[in-house]
Amino acid sequence: MPESLPRGPELDKRKAYILTTIVYEYIATAEPVGSATLTQKYNLGVSSATIRNEMAELEARGYLVQPHTSAGRVPSDTGYRTYVDRLMPTESLASEESDRLRIEFARAGRAIDEIVEQATRLLSQYSQNLAVVVAPSRDRQTFRHLQLIWLADRSVLMVAVTTAGVAEQHVIEPLVDVDPDELTRASNALNRSLSGKLLAELDRAAVADALAETEPPLHASLIDGIIAGFAHARRPEERRILFGGAQHLLDQPEFRDFKKLRSILDLVEEQRTLYNVVLDSIERGESTPSVRIGGELELEDVSECSLVAIPYRMGDRSLGVLAILGARRMPYGRMMALIAATADNLSQHLTDVELP
Amino acid sequence: MPESLPRGPELDKRKAYILTTIVYEYIATAEPVGSATLTQKYNLGVSSATIRNEMAELEARGYLVQPHTSAGRVPSDTGYRTYVDRLMPTESLASEESDRLRIEFARAGRAIDEIVEQATRLLSQYSQNLAVVVAPSRDRQTFRHLQLIWLADRSVLMVAVTTAGVAEQHVIEPLVDVDPDELTRASNALNRSLSGKLLAELDRAAVADALAETEPPLHASLIDGIIAGFAHARRPEERRILFGGAQHLLDQPEFRDFKKLRSILDLVEEQRTLYNVVLDSIERGESTPSVRIGGELELEDVSECSLVAIPYRMGDRSLGVLAILGARRMPYGRMMALIAATADNLSQHLTDVELP
DNA sequence: CTTAGCACTCACTTTCCCAGACTGCTAGCG
DNA sequence: CGCTAGCAGTCTGGGAAAGTGAGTGCTAAG
């Protein structure tokens, strides 16, 4: 075991520049970068031999990796991480591109699902990578209106509307006949006391409280049905994940290998794992893109991938997450600018269509 | 140009058996089938030389193809077609498997979306192929209930419920203030005259008729809003397509070629084309699986694929289509049995959860 | 009509070899 | 003391050459 060399901030200016250039070049070409390439294509002012010495040290310090003895160097997770955190210039979208994005966004209608689907499509299209989108959480939505609809003597349809639109319909089958007037009274009572609360708050106690003073009292089986309906509407564990643009993976040379491709597609199919990783990527309240590189994902078989994620909002509530999953060798600056712009557009649209 | 040889039903018993065996063997092994393999593995009672003569004739008649001079034979589109239509034994699922399918179906809840998603998942899982599902059409659903909900003075939420659940919510912004009572009267009038009709029938005239006798008359802008709401709910052109199990394609040797894989994934992404093909596959009223083999799909770049499709129902209305897209070399008998069973389960469940 | 035998074809695999791309090291220079 | 030119060494990837084997079509005889 060689003595561990210092890591971290002590990269002198030249080493930093060399690392930057290698990451840049490798992202562009997908080929390991050699010392000669660097001196030829970039103005370094020193010979390739000097670069070789520097590269050897960068490798010893863990920023670079050599695929095999007679190849150039490739950035390691640490190399990319340093690049992303400290070396990379901040990019923003060309105004033309950001205009186009905004216009295409406007094409989606006013339905939440449609808007989120459009976001997925656009994100994958513009990023040329796999887009992963966690659909709006239900329990963070604000309850707006309840309607109990009489279907038959022992059959009631409960429709719960949040400010994001209809969240839930649920058939209740009470043990006694109910009549429409009774249902109207119950609906009104619930609307009066619960309107404006988060779905997450509408538990058994809240519903029972709201209905406590109804005269004549509702039958317990109907109340239970309403409670079950809210519980079902809330269920935070089952959130849909949308995907788009899997075919772009085929364009990356790193996925010209069926095993790697397979592990990504399996991940997509499984959903659960990816769901957790995407949520993990978002620190509470952070509204800048979070980046996880290669091994940082802590997923087997996808150490060749990176994930860029950012939350989106409706009003001031964070509802879900956008993410880009792609080769570790991705243009991080562009991806971060793109996903931030997409999240902005999405949040803006969702906020616009929120019910009063 | 050689004189064209007779096609069609004149395959004698032995030729039919040889063709059957070749298709069977090729489906199992994915390797071109040679005369020696046939005599060794199957009891044909004649020598390989005889088989060679027969195979040469089957090829001349268009049932078989030889990938190259020194290889065995592979079925052509015609070969598969003959196999599927006239030679293949009808399969049905093992009762154990069909039980398992039924049980897993029951795990989905009572929401239409959930049920259809579960069908997609199960179909891809059991078929080990790409499942393509056209989500329930809206305009074939039966209108059950309308609710106009007062949100603010010039803002009304319209919720349309079909027997399949909530079909549409739509914000109407009338040009005058409205009050809740007015909305209740309008809701009642619409429910009285329109309940039980198909969404497709709820056009401008139907709505105007239903509201004709309301006193005092509703403001035109509100009526227009309601009409627009129904129109939006109907829109038959925008039907969601669900996919599942793309990763299974990677298991087929015929897709160990990035170009072919790419064309299929592109097809998935595009949706429109696939949507048309899948719908085309279903003759009106047919309730047996339809099969389209290779070139019969009339799609470039996917001549290596076949599609098996079948409609599903809610009650007696056909709502959408299930399909399996896979390699042309697929076990047709099993796929047909499987998709029929899946469609049965799906139709059954949808019918069960239909509102009274 | 069937079959044994045979010559022929052609894809696939293995082996081998070479060119090329890099590196690390050393020794000399400013 | 850092920088550089030069050189030897290493490894990959591609391409040619050669051998292997599966499979065919044809012929002639049963």
pLDDT digits (tens, 9 = 90+) for B14-43: 999 999 999 999 999 999 999 999 998 888
CB atoms B258 and A256 under 8 Å: yes
pLDDT in tens, A160-173: 999 888 768 888 99
Which of B48, B68, B87 is at the close of a domain? B87
pLDDT of residue B235: 76
pLDDT of residue A324: 97
B191 and B250 belong to one structural domain: no
pLDDT in tens, B134-169: 999 888 889 999 999 888 888 999 999 999 887 788
Which of A87, A106, A124 is at the close of a domain? A87
pLDDT of residue A258: 83
Written as six digits, the tokens of B191 are 């429910």
Residue given tokens 């931030």 in the structure block: A340
pLDDT of residue B8: 47
Compute the C-alpha angle A117/A118/A119, nearest 5°: 90
Whether B328 contacts B305, CB under 8 Å: yes
Q: Does B231 touch chain A (CB under 8 A)?
A: no
The whole-number average pLDDT for the span A71-80 is 95
pLDDT grade for B3, boundaries at 50, 70 and 90: very low
A200 found inside a domain: yes
State yes or no: pLDDT of B212 exceeds 90: no
DSSP strands (E only) in chain A: 64-65, 74-75, 130-134, 143-152, 155-162, 165-172, 241-244, 290-293, 305-314, 317-327
pLDDT of residue A4: 40
Whether B157 contacts B171, CB under 8 Å: yes
CB atoms B247 and A256 under 8 Å: no
Whether B155 contacts B133, CB under 8 Å: no
Residue type, B260: K
A74 found inside a domain: yes
B6 found inside a domain: no
State yes or no: pLDDT of B80 exceeds 90: yes
Residue B186: name the closest of B165, B216, B221 by CA.
B216
State yes or no: pLDDT of A76 exceeds 90: yes
B294 and B252 belong to one structural domain: yes
pLDDT grade for B6, boundaries at 50, 70 and 90: very low
Residue given tokens 């919720």 in the structure block: B159
A40 and A110 belong to one structural domain: no
pLDDT of residue A96: 96
Q: Does B213 touch chain A (CB under 8 A)?
A: no
Least confident of A332-341, B24-33, B194-203, B228-237: B228-237
Identify the closest residue of chain B to A125 by CA–CA distance.
B269
- Total domains in chain A come to 3
A116 and A172 belong to one structural domain: no
Could you tell me what percent of chain A has a pLDDT over 90?
55
**How far apart, in whole angstroms, are the C-alpha atoms of residue B24 and residue B32?**
11
Which of A207, A234, A261 is at the close of a domain? A234
A43 and A106 belong to one structural domain: no
pLDDT of residue B285: 67
pLDDT grade for B81, boundaries at 50, 70 and 90: very high
Least confident of A13-17, A269-273, B167-171, B348-352: B167-171
Could you tell me what percent of chain B has a pLDDT over 90?
57
Å separating the CA of residue A27 from the C1' of nucleotide C15: 36
B248 and B326 belong to one structural domain: yes
pLDDT of residue A194: 92
What is the CATH classification number for the domain harbouring B100? 3.30.450.40
- For A220, half-sphere exposure in the C-beta direction (CA atoms, 13 angstrom radius) is 0
Could you tell me what percent of chain B has a pLDDT over 70?
95
B267 and B333 belong to one structural domain: yes
**How far apart, in whole angstroms, are the C-alpha atoms of residue A114 and residue A107?**
10
Order of all β-strands in the sheet with A143-152: A143-152, A155-162, A165-172
Written as six digits, the tokens of B239 are 């039907």
**How far apart, in whole angstroms, are the C-alpha atoms of residue B268 and residue B326?**
12
CB atoms B169 and A166 under 8 Å: yes
Neighbours of B108 (CB within 10 A): 20
pLDDT of residue A2: 34
Q: Please enumerate, as own/partner, the contacts of B212-216 that have beta carbons within 8 Å and a separation of 24 or more.
A: B213/B189, B214/B185, B214/B186, B214/B189
Distance from CA of A52 to the nearest CA of B (A): 37
The minimal CB distance from B250 to the residues A245, A258, A268 is found for A258
Q: What residues have CB less than 8 Å from A211, skipping those under 6 apart?
A: A186, A189, A190, A217, A218, A223, A226
Q: Give the 3-state secondary structure of residue B205.
A: helix
Bases of chain D within 7 A of a CB of the protein: 3-6, 9-12, 21-27
**How far apart, in whole angstroms, are the C-alpha atoms of residue A136 and residue A215?**
37
Q: Does A269 touch chain B (CB under 8 A)?
A: yes
- Distances in Å between the Cα of A231 and the Cα atoms of A139, A169, A225, A346, B250 are 10, 12, 10, 27, 40
Burial class (CB in 10 A: 0-12, 13-18, 19+), A304: middle
pLDDT of residue A1: 30
Compute the C-alpha angle B247/B250/B251, nearest 5°: 105
What integer best gives the mean pLDDT of chain B?
A: 90
- Distances in Å between the Cα of B337 and the Cα atoms of A47, B280, B289, B324, B345 are 70, 20, 8, 12, 12
The minimal CB distance from A149 to the residues B147, B244, B245 is found for B147
B252 and B349 belong to one structural domain: yes
pLDDT of residue B44: 84
pLDDT grade for B314, boundaries at 50, 70 and 90: very high
A119 and A147 belong to one structural domain: no
B133 and B149 belong to one structural domain: no
Residue B85: name the closest of B16, B15, B29, B5 by CA.
B16
Q: Does B262 touch chain A (CB under 8 A)?
A: yes
Residue B305: name the closest of B285, B333, B283, B277 by CA.
B277
B349 found inside a domain: yes
For chain B, how far is it from start to end, CA to CA, in angstroms?
A: 66
**How far apart, in whole angstroms, are the C-alpha atoms of residue B253 and residue B259?**
13
pLDDT of residue A356: 79
A168 and A26 belong to one structural domain: no
Written as six digits, the tokens of B303 are 């001549």
B310 found inside a domain: yes
**How far apart, in whole angstroms, are the C-alpha atoms of residue B121 and residue B132?**
10
A162 and A218 belong to one structural domain: yes
Q: Does B171 touch chain A (CB under 8 A)?
A: yes
Helices (H), A13-136: 13-29, 35-41, 48-60, 77-82, 95-106, 112-127
pLDDT in tens, A301-314: 898 999 999 999 99
Identify nearest nucleotide to residue B60 by CA to C1′ distance.
D25
B1 found inside a domain: no
Compute φ and ψ for A115, nearest 5 degrees: -65, -45
B8 found inside a domain: no
CB atoms B265 and A250 under 8 Å: yes
pLDDT of residue B284: 67
Helices (H), B138-292: 180-194, 204-211, 220-234, 258-270, 272-280
The whole-number average pLDDT for the span A5-20 is 76
The H helix count followed by the E strand count for chain A is 12, 10
> Is the N-terminal amide bond of B180 cis, ω within 30° of 0?
no
Compute the C-alpha angle B210/B215/B221, nearest 5°: 65
CB atoms B155 and A246 under 8 Å: no
- What residues make up the domain containing A157? 143-234
pLDDT in tens, B316-335: 889 999 999 999 999 999 99
pLDDT in tens, A192-202: 999 899 998 99
User: Which residues from B are below 8 Å from A244, CB to CB?
Assistant: 269
A46 found inside a domain: yes
What is the CATH classification number for the domain harbouring A191? 3.30.390.60
Distance from CA of B118 to the nearest CA of A (A): 13
Q: What residues have CB less than 8 Å from B30, skipping those under 6 apart?
A: B252, B253, B254, B329
State yes or no: pLDDT of A142 exceeds 50: yes
Higher pLDDT, A308 or A186: A308
